[in-house]
Amino acid sequence: MALATLARRGAANLLPAVMIGLCAFVVFGPLTNLFLWAFAEKWFFPARYPTEYGFDFWQRVFRPRAGAWTSLFNSVWIALATVGLSMALAVPAGYALARLMLPARAFIMLIFLLPQAFPSLPIFVNIAHMFYGLGLNGTYTGVVLVHSLPGLVYAVWIATAAFGAVDRTMEEAARNLGAGPMRTFRDITLPQAFPGLVAASIFVFLDSIDEFTGTFFVGTPDISTLPILMFNASMGGNYQIASITALILLVPSIGFMLVIERFLKADVLSRIGR
């Protein structure tokens, strides 16, 4: 009797354990592989694991003329500029969408999603074509604009949710006690929407750091970012350099997870898309 209960309990515990194990494998398997490649000096076909480890390729990646530093700075500057541009548009847009009873609010929100709804390749090919005409191809401006296209989706949707989560009577209380509209926005609305806006900025930043297709069509060969560098390395069969680049790309992602846990309140997340 007791044994049967134990067995049943064991079986009940086993299933979740197996599921968690599978998920972990799917998530961490490729990461482990990446990690191994990043530190593999020699790893040829029949060997299951690298035959030699070392930092030789790290030195090669960070050699002054290898382009990794340039790509890294490019990536970061472009991402920061994209955040700046997206948020500059998303803060007023998000406030308007959350506060003012715009007639076609749902429709406007949907329009912001449209670039994500279509396959990105044809969109970027067309943008590249347009940018050729405008002389924006191969310029930082062009790349920042292309990165802002998906960036704005995150920025506007999350900013709208963040402003929507601010209790309107708190703004009214400030107005009532003598604050003008701009002062109210600065002192009351903005500080309360701030965690959501930080989250939006982080999303935009990460999306930009990670962006490949748009940069490939609009930026290359004049502008190289880390994903472009990684792509070139993988295409050249240089898995070590590709893996090291990928690991560098992981740094902002991990930073993001730490920050988002601190800043993003559940009530902001729950309002996204409302």
C-beta of residue 58 within 8 angstroms of C-beta of residue 244: yes
Hey, what amino acid is at 102? L
CB atoms within 10 A of CB 256: 16
Q: Which stretch binds other proteins (CB under 8 A): 64-72, 92-100, 120-128, 185-193?
A: 185-193
Q: What is the DSSP letter of 63?
A: S
DSSP-assigned letters across all residues of 187-213: IIIHHHHHHHHHHHHHHHHHHHHH--H
- Residue 10 sits in the site that holds other proteins (CB under 8 A): no
Contacts with other proteins, 199-238, as mask; x by CB under 8 A: ----------------------------------------
Give CA–CA dist 213/125, Å, rounded.
9
For strand 52-53 and strand 40-42, is the pairing parallel, antiparallel, or unpaired? antiparallel
Bridge partners, 53 (sequence order)? 40
DSSP 40: E
State in angstroms the smallest separation of the CB of 178 from other proteins: 4
Nearest to 127 by CA among 157, 148, 110, 111: 148
31 binds other proteins (CB under 8 A): no
Partnered with residue 52 across adjacent β-strands are: 42
* Contact pick of 40, 79, 188, 248 for other proteins (by CB under 8 A): 188
CA-atom Rg of the chain in angstroms:
24
Q: Does 180 bind other proteins (CB under 8 A)?
A: yes
Is position 267 an interface residue for other proteins (rule: CB under 8 A)?
A: no
Supply 234's token pair. Answer: 């993988």
Instruction: Find the shortest distance in angstroms from Cβ 33 to other proteins.
Output: 45
Of 52 and 167, CB closest to other proteins:
167
Residue 90's SS3 state is: helix
Q: Which one of the spans 20-28, 52-60, 162-170, 253-261 is the region binding other proteins (CB under 8 A)?
A: 162-170
The piece of 12-20, 169-177, 235-243, 253-261 that touches other proteins (CB under 8 A) is 169-177
Determine which residue in the list 6, 22, 23, 170 makes contact with other proteins, applying CB under 8 A. Answer: 170
Stretch that binds other proteins, among 62-70, 149-157, 180-188, 247-255 (CB under 8 A): 180-188
C-beta of 191 vs 255, nearer to other proteins: 191
Q: How far is the CB of 161 from other proteins (least distance, A)?
A: 18
Judged by the rule CB under 8 A, the positions of this chain that interact with other proteins are 167, 169-170, 172-181, 183, 187-188, 191-192
